[in-house]
Amino acid sequence: MLIAIGLPAAFLQSCRPQTETPKSPEVARQPPTAYPMPPVKATNPDMGWTVANIQHVKLADLKDKVVILDFYATWCEPCKAAIPHLIELNKRYSASGLQIVGLNVGGTDDYEQVPAFARSFKIPYQLGIPDPELEQFFLGDDLSIPQTFVLDRKGRVVKHYVGYDESMAPLLESQVIATLSGS
């Protein structure tokens, strides 16, 4: 019986280097951002991500959108568990101005896995590789994944989640609804 209880608890945590201690699923750390995107404190105004190894997208390109930045890796089980919910959010709210971006931080070996990963999960939203400046700005020294940031239409971080479990799905959806409505 103890094994059955221990397995789900291990699954609900975020992926991180083995030397780090577990964190709670949600944290309050919010990087300071201001309109217009990118954040004022960013050193590179063109920071963003690369899509399909050819197209560079800037965070500033998404102004006037509610943005979810989801930092993930293809090998991360909690990251995989979050994807169906992100797909559903995209389906429900993209017409209302929601833009979801999955940013792979699994390392150079993981980047080549992204196309097959996207096909297997039928991911309809944009996937990319973050610029080092963007990754450092949002993740800093906390390399736990998944990490999910909700940005309002002015580019301000309104919520930051670390890890994923099913209890977070309604919290994230409520935050998206509130942010889309301007609350």
Give the Cα separation of 8 and 85 in Å (integer): 18
67 within domain boundaries: yes
CATH number at residue 59: 3.40.30.10
pLDDT tens-place string over residues 145-178: 999 999 999 888 999 999 998 899 999 999 999 9
152 within domain boundaries: yes
3 within domain boundaries: no
11 within domain boundaries: no
Taking the model in full, what pTM does it have? Answer: 0.78
How many separate domains does the chain show? 1
Question: In the numeric block, which tokens belong to residue 181?
Answer: 């409505």
22 within domain boundaries: no
163 within domain boundaries: yes
- Say if strands 55-58 and 48-51 run parallel, antiparallel, or are unpaired: antiparallel
Cβ neighbors of 40 (< 8 A, separation 6 or more) are: 32, 33, 34
91 within domain boundaries: yes
150 within domain boundaries: yes
pLDDT tens-place string over residues 48-90: 999 877 888 898 888 889 999 999 999 999 999 999 999 999 9
Domain range for 73 is: 28-180
